[in-house]
């Protein structure tokens, strides 16, 4: 018989990459997990959200897949409603879903269409999803929920590193960093802790298109720890947060980048 669930976690963009790693880590930590993504293929259960659900079940926890686009107002509401209909509560929100720029273009050539697309998914969507979920969490706290709610934002070192060939992405992550700070400020009085995790060069489908470039940079020493980061490196930080190891550190920014953040001469 499986142990009683510690609570319910919602992870956006959980069908692959960092989101997948986080979803599985939370399941191993004893949480039921809502896997949100916009891509799934029921005919191929070896990849995507279906594969993540099967892995969650193998771990012994309950998983729920909710197809939904966080940039869409109705989808955000439905994601929360379906989560509550199944689990009656939401204890952890991990804002992980994000997209790269459709094309890498010089900032002098950036288009409004690309800008709006990236901002809607990477910034507007997480902001208003968090607003919805936070209201539910406040309600749970007032009802003496057994697990103190936690919100995590997955941003990027691009929140502070300039890349003029993908300005939309950098601006969206810088904005999301402030969103994390704002919610940490507002929700502290409600007993809800908020964290920002900044991944560096992580081996995912998103970075596969620039693998050779990053291989060379890592070999040349751009990172103190000369290796690619893995989704599990980010997931382990989320695991420490939900374990309560950073309970007195709301608003903290945790970088997972192999020492990239240290200026060197």
User: Comparing C-alpha atoms, which of 233, 242, 226, 130 is closest to residue 182?
Assistant: 130
Q: Is residue 207 a contact partner of residue 214, using CB atoms and an 8 Å limit?
A: yes
Higher pLDDT, 253 or 42: 253
Report the mean per-residue pLDDT for the chain: 95
Q: List the beta bridge partners of residue 154.
A: 197
Reported as a single tens digit per residue, the pLDDT across 82-134 is 999 999 999 999 999 999 999 999 999 999 999 999 999 999 999 999 999 99
Asked whether residue 23 carries a pLDDT value surpassing 90, the answer given is: yes
Asked whether residue 40 carries a pLDDT value surpassing 80, the answer given is: no
Whole-number pLDDT of residue 46: 72
Q: Choose the catalytic residue: 115, 160, 169, 195.
A: 169
Cα torsion at 240, 245, 249, 253 (round to 10°)?
A: -20
Reported as a single tens digit per residue, the pLDDT across 57-82 is 999 999 999 999 999 999 999 999 99
Asked whether residue 45 carries a pLDDT value surpassing 80, the answer given is: no
Whole-number pLDDT of residue 2: 63
- How many CB atoms lie under 10 A from the CB of residue 213? 10
| Per-domain boundaries in the chain | 8-256
Task: Give dist(CA 200, CA 218) in Å, integer.
Answer: 12
Asked if 169 is an active-site residue, the reply is yes
The whole model's pTM is what? 0.96
**Cα angle value 50/56/58 (rounded, 5°):** 105
Superfamily (CATH) of domain 8-256 = NAD(P)-binding Rossmann-like Domain (3.40.50.720)
Asked whether residue 177 carries a pLDDT value surpassing 90, the answer given is: yes
């Amino acid at each position: 018989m499986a142990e009683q669930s510690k609570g319910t976690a919602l992870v956006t963009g959980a069908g692959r990459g960092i989101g997948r790693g986080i979803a599985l880590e939370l399941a191993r930590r004893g949480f039921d997990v809502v896997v949100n993504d916009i891509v799934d293929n029921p005919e191929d259960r070896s990849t995507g959200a279906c594969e993540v659900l099967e892995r969650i079940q193998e771990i012994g926890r309950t998983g729920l897949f909710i197809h939904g686009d966080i940039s869409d107002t109705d989808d955000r509401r439905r994601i929360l409603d379906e989560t509550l209909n199944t689990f009656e509560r939401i204890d952890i929100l991990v804002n992980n879903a994000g997209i790269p720029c459709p094309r890498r273009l010089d900032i002098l050539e950036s288009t409004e269409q690309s800008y709006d697309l990236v901002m809607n998914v990477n910034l507007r969507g997480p902001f208003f999803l968090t607003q919805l979920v936070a209201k539910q969490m406040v309600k749970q706290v007032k009802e003496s929920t057994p697990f103190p709610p936690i919100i995590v934002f997955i941003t990027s070192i691009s929140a502070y590193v300039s890349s003029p060939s993908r300005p939309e992405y950098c601006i969206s992550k810088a904005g999301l960093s402030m969103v994390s700070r704002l919610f940490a400020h507002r929700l502290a009085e409600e007993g809800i802790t908020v964290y920002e995790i900044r991944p560096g060069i992580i081996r995912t489908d998103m970075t596969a298109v620039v693998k050779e470039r990053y291989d060379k940079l890592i070999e040349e020493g751009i990172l103190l720890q000369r290796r690619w980061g893995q989704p599990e490196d980010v997931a382990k930080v989320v695991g420490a947060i939900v374990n309560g190891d950073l309970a007195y550190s709301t608003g903290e920014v945790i970088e997972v980048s192999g020492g990239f953040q240290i200026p060197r001469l």
